[in-house]
Amino acid sequence: MSRAHLWLRAEQRENETRTGLTPKGAARLLAAGIRISVEHGPTRVIADADYAAAGCTMVPTHSWPEAPGDAIIFGLKELPDDGTPLRHRHIMFGHAFKGQPAGLRLLQRFATGGGTLLDLEYLTDDEDRRLAAFGYWAGYAGAAVALTCWAAQQRGSIAGPVTSQASSTHLLAELQSDLLSTGSHRPTALIIGALGRVGTGVTDLCTAMGVGCTKWDMTETASGGPFPEVLSHDLFFNCVLARPGTPVFVPADTPTHPRRLTVIADIACDPDSDFSPIKLYDSATSWEQPALRVHDAPPLDVTAIDNLPSLLPLESSEDFAEQLLPVLHSLPEPDAAVWNRAEALFRDHLGRLQENMRK
């Protein structure tokens, strides 16, 4: 068994303070014989000193391009889209396998540099179930943002910037105050994908805020649509990942139909995928402008922030890191099925890209 070298990079995206490895988890990996280098992370929610105390080797911020060739570079969100070749193995959310333009550029960088993408979204067990996900906290935070958008509408405005919170308790207190400013009325919500991690997070936040929820999953959407029920709720939450065969829940002409619907929260957030079930927008919204108004009277806002768990960075990091830790433990094992599946998926998509380029 070779000695794996895991290199935890500092995130380079704005408003991204999460991590996929805690000092407690790092200590367990070190004890198992895995080398760990941690880049100094000035914005990481967990202090550098805690990683150093756990025994990690601290290295300069954003130094991963110069890491030894056998180092496995581990981060969460995307790398700078600068076109440079990628020569290492990278563990991250690549968003590169659904035909997204940015994803195709990322695959080309791996092709040029000879590296490998081991996508966190596709680390699965033998029954194709994901082994680690931020889904619950994406749903929880996404529901809070959607209610913030709804509250702003009640005041005749549009939602302003959102910020991270120290804990879910702080988030609930701030949101409760915001809703109270609109009076005693509460909206209704339809959640598609309610039985999954994301849908559970949405349901828990909505329940805490007194929002009545209609919960749908595969049975209720098996017909393939149309789904007029979406229009009869104030809020609609999409918690279903875009993939071939995903029904269209919100067609492009939705704003012109009679509707109660005023806020669409696309928690899954794959706007530039051909398989997106929400056909009203084509790019994610931001922390600075969380709501995209797609119709004025009556208002209809879409909110689709693609790093929602960062609104609760500590809780979401600790939860995800605990889920992922057993998978990281298997990195040194050459026959670890989870990593072999992830690499095979990458090779398949890379081959398709290269074949299309030859045509």
Contact between 222 and 245 (Cβ < 8 Å):
no
Q: Of 5, 77, 215, 233, which one is the catalytic site residue?
A: 77
β-sheet bridge partners, residue 305: 285
CB 1 within 8 A of CB 332: yes
* Dist CA 2 CA 89 (whole Å): 15
What is the rounded (10 degree) CA torsion for 85, 22, 311, 331?
40
* Cα(262)–Cα(41) distance, integer angstroms: 39
Q: Which two tokens stand for residue 153?
A: 């509408």
Annotated catalytic residue 215: no
What are 223's two structure tokens?
């017909």
Select from 38, 44, 40 the least CA-distant residue to 13: 44
Q: Who contacts 66 (Cβ-Cβ below 8 Å, separation ≥6)?
A: none
Q: How many CB atoms lie within 10 A of CB 174?
A: 14
Which member of 95, 98, 215, 349 is catalytic? 95
Is 77 one of the catalytic residues?
yes
Residue with tokens 């040194």: 332
Q: Across-strand partners of 118?
A: 91
Q: Phi first, then psi: what are they for 228, rounded to 5°?
A: -65, -20
* DSSP result, 304-330: -BTTGGGGSHHHHHHHHHHHHHHHHHT
Q: Are 277 and 247 in contact (CB under 8 A)?
A: yes
d(CA 322, CA 81): 29
Q: Which residues are catalytic?
A: 77, 95
